[in-house]
Chains A and B, each alone.
Chain A
Amino acid sequence: MSTTASCCPPVSILTATSGFRLALAGNPNSGKTTLFNALTGLRAKTSNYPGTTVEHRQGHFTLAGTDIVVVDLPGIYDVKASSEEEQVALNILTGERFDMVIIVADATNLRRSLFLTSQVMDMKVPVIVALNMFDLAEAAGVRINVAALSRELGCPVVPIVARSGRGLEELRAEIRHRQTTASPSQVLATCGVCDGCRFQSRYAWTDAIAGRCIQQTGQPTHRWTERLDHVLTHPVIGVAAFFAVMLAVFFLIFRLAHIPMDLIDGLFSHVGAWATSHLPEGDLRNLLVQGVIGGVGGMLVFLPQICILFFCLSLLEDTGYLARAAFVMDRLMQRFGLPGKAFVPLLSAHACAIPSIMATRVIEDKRDRLVTILVIPLITCSARIPVYSMLAALLFAHNAWRASLVFTGAYTLGLTAAIIVAFVLKRTILKGETRALVLELPSYKMPSLRTAILMTLDRAWVFIRKAGTVILGISIALWLLATYPKSAPPAKAVVLQQQAASLPSDQAVAMQAKADRLISHSALAHSTAGYVGRWIEPVLRPLGFDWQIGIGIVSSFAAREVIVSTLAVIYGVGEETARENPESLYDSLRRAERSDGSKVFTTATCASLLVFYVLAMQCLATQAITRRETNSFKWPAFQLAYMTVLAYSASCLVFQTLRLLGVS
């Protein structure tokens, strides 16, 4: 047990200093979180245990006038930790001196829950055992003599169904009762005949109790689970079923998300237009419209995808299916040095890297999880699609078949790069054997909508708080870079404006628009972003990029899709036109020429730019989430560094090879 020994010192995590302190402990899949949600509702807060990335939830509720603080501990099997999560759960349990611990026991598999119960009771805290999923146990023919069990354990035992709320009143009453009369539960006479295995005597004890309190009538097994598992854990059919399930999830994401995404997009452009027409012209207005409103809109537009993804994953997790997904993918993933549990996050990254990085919390081993987080941004996310569309159109203008090949190639390149980098990292800086699979496959059950909704809200809030603030700050900073220093409008634009004044209105509008495009092009070219673009041009030249593409790369540093609108401004199409009619943008990009008359967007440059956008980081929100999930600045910095080096080298290789082959 080397990897997890004392990950972190026990520290106090309770935000409330007074009140009755209650902890929920239990095996994973025992329905702890469902009970937590049923007790506290929306008044809960998720946070990391100090010094770790393990989450725990804290909430409170009122019982007979007393405020009760509840902590939902990570699921544990054993009080001798074999993972960081277990270590944290133990630190909280031992360090916090709770007034009471509720052990959430799975009534359908009481023997195993009793194992943990006996260990928690040894800690000499008052204990209540909540027998969850009592309805499922009854349906499976398990008869539990609750009164006898309570006598044997020497603590109250309350049968509940956390999902429907059955038995919760009795549980609350028992908590209230114990608030005044609480005394540590009876300690077991453990380890009388220990023969080296600390598990043996406890299991003998749980067997004895189970034998006296449980009666099995009728069919003993969960037949539905067996039948379903026969198919879903099959090495071939199981994998196919898994891809079918994930395909359905992606269909939902891309099919449903665009409706709220369009709404958000529309709302923010309306707000922007309103602000433009109601505020006095000037830098403050531009800052508000382009920096703040544009930045917030650009961030919120990803929220629907994130929410749908988390909602689906939570439902799948709750049914018990995700454990099967990890099971069937484990063998394949182990070859690349990752556990099966890493596959769902990697696949989800095709929608968005942010929720995927948050979803890596299911991976037990720290190094396995870190490697997964580090490679996730290489996978093509939906923000890359507008960039790919633009480049596919530039590369193969009128050949849909070839253009779709560009997409396939880009997706494959991203996934392949992720796998290779993971493989390399596991053999170099994050060396270590991948954690072997030992994973409970819980019985299938109906998922809880409430849990899924609460989980989704929780994750959405994390995204807004952590990523949102960064994106807003950066979009203001980028606005400043693209606006200052100010420059005089170009002479050509001034002439156009003067001509427009003396023309009939319909021609004047067109001329005025042309003048505006010239002005914004010139303003950008002479701004700090323009200087940075020119300054880095020598570095970008081996990749086939000129300073104008350089501006595009700089401005899309925080959010890669921004390059499309930046190029629209640089090449004088105007953001509005580019948005409404992308073909007009593609046309002017195709016509764009360097000062020496040669084309800017040659095949070699486009291919190089495509490879660059497949592999480069270009997303600060992801970096902010990596920072949160690794609890250090070192890893996001490393992520940025290796991806930049990778993207630069690969683009350089592509451009130089194509040039040598005479492709222009």
Chain B
Amino acid sequence: MSHVPGQHLHELPAGARGVVRHIEPADDALYRLMAMGLCVGREVEVIRQGNPLIVRLLGARVGVAERVARHIVVERHT
């Protein structure tokens, strides 16, 4: 897999916003997250960091386990 610039979702600080650049294929839970609005090219915001963490997706707040967040690469807005 080629290197994708950015950080993993679980490494971003609270309040950080960015665009999803890459999603590593993983389990069912990740598909649920994608159906909730997490998709390559779309924006995501970290509301609370930790395990699980809270992100904002399409205006909704979603709790996400760290082991799911590890599969998501985000390019942070500056």
Using a CB–CB cutoff of 8 Å, the interface residues on chain A facing chain B are 1-4, 77-78, 80, 82-83, 108-109, 111-112, 115, 197, 199-200, 203, 225, 229, 233, 235, 323, 326-327, 330-331, 334, 433, 435-442
Which residues in A have their C-beta under 8 angstroms from that of B23?
197
CA–CA, A331 and B37, complex, Å: 24
Which residues in A have their C-beta under 8 angstroms from that of B1?
none
Which residues in B have their C-beta under 8 angstroms from that of A326?
63
Which residues in A have their C-beta under 8 angstroms from that of B42?
203
Do residues B39 and A438 form an inter-chain contact, with CB atoms below 8 A?
no
Contact with A along B1-44 (1 / 0, CB 8 A): 00000000000000000000001000111111111110111100
CA–CA, A442 and B41, complex, Å: 24
Do residues B62 and A441 form an inter-chain contact, with CB atoms below 8 A?
yes
Number of interface residues of B (CB under 8 A): 33
Do residues A203 and B27 form an inter-chain contact, with CB atoms below 8 A?
no
Known A-B contacts A77-B35, A111-B59, A200-B39; the reply to A438 vs B29 at CB < 8 A is yes
Contact among B34, B41, B62, B67 for A436, CB-based, below 8 A? B67
Which residues in A have their C-beta under 8 angstroms from that of B65?
330, 334, 436-438
CA–CA, A2 and B33, complex, Å: 16
Known A-B contacts A1-B31, A437-B29; the reply to A229 vs B61 at CB < 8 A is yes
Which residues in A have their C-beta under 8 angstroms from that of B63?
233, 323, 326-327, 330, 437-441
Which residues in B have their C-beta under 8 angstroms from that of A441?
54, 60-63
Which residues in A have their C-beta under 8 angstroms from that of B57?
112
Do residues A438 and B32 form an inter-chain contact, with CB atoms below 8 A?
yes
CA–CA, A624 and B33, complex, Å: 36
Nearest Cβ in chain A — how far from B76, in angstroms?
20
Do residues A109 and B29 form an inter-chain contact, with CB atoms below 8 A?
no
Which residues in A have their C-beta under 8 angstroms from that of B64?
437-438
Using a CB–CB cutoff of 8 Å, the interface residues on chain B facing chain A are 23, 27-37, 39-42, 47-48, 50-52, 54, 57-65, 67-68
Nearest Cβ in chain A — how far from B40, in angstroms?
6
Which residues in B have their C-beta under 8 angstroms from that of A2?
28
Nearest Cβ in chain B — how far from A150, in angstroms?
21
CA–CA, A323 and B48, complex, Å: 15
Which residues in B have their C-beta under 8 angstroms from that of A225?
61
Nearest Cβ in chain A — how far from B35, in angstroms?
3
Do residues B51 and A331 form an inter-chain contact, with CB atoms below 8 A?
yes
Known A-B contacts A3-B28, A82-B28; the reply to A440 vs B33 at CB < 8 A is no
Contact among B28, B35, B50 for A199, CB-based, below 8 A? B35
CA–CA, A46 and B54, complex, Å: 34
**Most chain A beta carbons < 10 A, residue from B32, B51, B54, B57:** B32
CA–CA, A235 and B51, complex, Å: 9
CA–CA, A261 and B60, complex, Å: 43
Do residues B40 and A440 form an inter-chain contact, with CB atoms below 8 A?
no
Told that A197-B39, A200-B41, A441-B60 touch, could you supply 19 new A-B pairs with CB distance under 8 A? A4-B28, A82-B32, A83-B32, A108-B59, A112-B58, A115-B37, A199-B35, A200-B40, A225-B61, A229-B47, A235-B50, A323-B63, A326-B63, A330-B65, A433-B27, A435-B28, A438-B33, A438-B62, A440-B63
Do residues B54 and A111 form an inter-chain contact, with CB atoms below 8 A?
no
Which residues in A have their C-beta under 8 angstroms from that of B54?
229, 233, 327, 441
Contact among A111, A197, A334 for B40, CB-based, below 8 A? A197
Nearest Cβ in chain B — how far from A408, in angstroms?
31
Nearest Cβ in chain B — how far from A488, in angstroms?
68
Residue ID in chain A nearest B59 by CB atoms: A109
Residue ID in chain A nearest B64 by CB atoms: A438
Do residues B60 and A440 form an inter-chain contact, with CB atoms below 8 A?
yes
Known A-B contacts A78-B31, A203-B42; the reply to A438 vs B68 at CB < 8 A is yes
Which residues in A have their C-beta under 8 angstroms from that of B50?
235
Task: Sample 30 A-B pairs with CB under 8 A, ordered by A number.
Answer: A3-B28, A4-B28, A77-B35, A78-B35, A82-B29, A83-B28, A109-B58, A109-B59, A109-B60, A112-B37, A112-B59, A112-B60, A115-B35, A197-B39, A199-B34, A199-B39, A200-B40, A203-B39, A203-B42, A326-B63, A327-B63, A330-B52, A331-B52, A433-B27, A436-B29, A437-B68, A438-B32, A440-B36, A440-B63, A441-B61
Residue ID in chain B nearest A78 by CB atoms: B35
Nearest Cβ in chain A — how far from B41, in angstroms?
6
CA–CA, A436 and B34, complex, Å: 14
Do residues B62 and A440 form an inter-chain contact, with CB atoms below 8 A?
yes
Do residues B37 and A111 form an inter-chain contact, with CB atoms below 8 A?
yes
CA–CA, A327 and B66, complex, Å: 12
Residue ID in chain A nearest B48 by CB atoms: A233
Which residues in B have their C-beta under 8 angstroms from that of A78?
31-32, 34-35
CA–CA, A78 and B48, complex, Å: 26
Do residues A327 and B52 form an inter-chain contact, with CB atoms below 8 A?
yes
Which residues in A have their C-beta under 8 angstroms from that of B52?
327, 330-331, 437
Which residues in B have their C-beta under 8 angstroms from that of A438?
29-30, 32-33, 36, 62-65, 68
Residue ID in chain A nearest B52 by CB atoms: A437
Contact among A3, A77, A83, A197 for B36, CB-based, below 8 A? A77
CA–CA, A441 and B57, complex, Å: 11
**Most chain B beta carbons < 10 A, residue from A1, A82, A108, A438:** A438
Nearest Cβ in chain A — how far from B29, in angstroms?
4
Known A-B contacts A111-B37, A197-B39, A436-B65; the reply to A80 vs B31 at CB < 8 A is yes
Nearest Cβ in chain B — how far from A233, in angstroms?
6
Known A-B contacts A111-B37, A203-B39; the reply to A435 vs B58 at CB < 8 A is no
Which residues in B have their C-beta under 8 angstroms from that of A442?
60-61
Which residues in A have their C-beta under 8 angstroms from that of B31?
1, 78, 80, 82
Nearest Cβ in chain A — how far from B58, in angstroms?
5
Do residues B28 and A440 form an inter-chain contact, with CB atoms below 8 A?
no
Which residues in A have their C-beta under 8 angstroms from that of B30?
438
